[in-house]
A = this chain, B = another copy of it.
Amino acid sequence: MAHPSANAATGYCYQYPHPAVTTDVVLFTIREDSLQLLLIERGHEPFKGHWALPGGFLEIGEDLDACAARELAEETGVEHLYLEQLGTFGTPGRDPRERVISVAYLALAPESALAVQAGDDAAAAAWFPVKALPTLAFDHAEIIAVAHRRLIGKLDYSTIAFQLLPETFTLGELQQVYETLVDAEIDKRNFRKWAQALEQIEATGELRRRGKHRPARVYRLTQRDRIAYLK
Query: In the complex this chain forms, how many copies of it are found?
Result: 2
Pair B63/A90 contact, Cβ less than 8 Å? yes
Taking a contact as CB atoms under 8 Å apart, the answer to whether B60 and A21 are in contact is: no
Contact B85 A88 (CB under 8 A): yes
Chain B hits for A16, CB < 8 A? 11-12, 20, 57, 60
> Counting CB contacts under 8 A, is A33 at the interface?
no
Chain B residues with CB under 8 Å of A90's CB are 21, 58, 63-64, 103
B101-A101 in contact (CB<8A): yes
CA distance A57 to B11 in the complex (A): 22
What is the CA–CA distance of A16 and B57 in the complex, to the nearest angstrom? 10
Bound Cα distance A15, B57 (Å): 12
CA distance A64 to B88 in the complex (A): 9
Q: Say which size band chain A's interface belongs to.
A: 35 or more
A1-37 contact mask (Cβ, 8 Å, vs B): 1 or 0: 0111111001111111111110000000000000000
Q: For residue A99, which residue of chain B has the nearest CB? A: B60
Q: Are B19 and A60 in contact (CB under 8 A)?
A: yes
Complex: how many Å from CA A58 to CA B101? 10
Which of A15, A19, A21 gathers most chain B CB within 10 Å?
A19
Q: Quick one: given A14-B18, A19-B60, are A2 and B97 in contact (CB under 8 Å)?
A: yes
Q: Is the Cβ of A58 less than 8 Å from the Cβ of B19?
A: yes
List residues of chain B with CB within 8 A of the CB of A85: 87-88
Instruction: Tell me whether B15 and A14 are in contact (CB under 8 A).
Output: no
A57 to B17, CA, bound (A): 10
A215 close to chain B: CB less than 8 A: no
Contact check, A103 vs B91: say whether CB atoms are below 8 A apart. Answer: no
Q: Which residues of B contact A4 (CB under 8 A)?
A: 17, 98
Least CB distance, A105 to chain B, in whole angstroms: 10
Cβ–Cβ contact A18 & B21, under 8 A: yes
Q: CB distance B19 to A2 under 8 Å?
A: no
Known: A88-B85, A99-B60, A103-B88. A5 touches B12 (CB 8 A): no
- B17 and A6 within 8 A (CB): yes
The yes or no answer to A61 lying at the interface (CB within 8 A) is: yes
User: Considering the chains assembled together, what is the distance between the CA atoms of A97 and B1 in angstroms?
Assistant: 9
Q: Report chain B residues within 8 Å CB of A225.
A: none
Q: Which of A4, A5, A58, A61 has most chain B Cβ within 10 Å?
A: A4
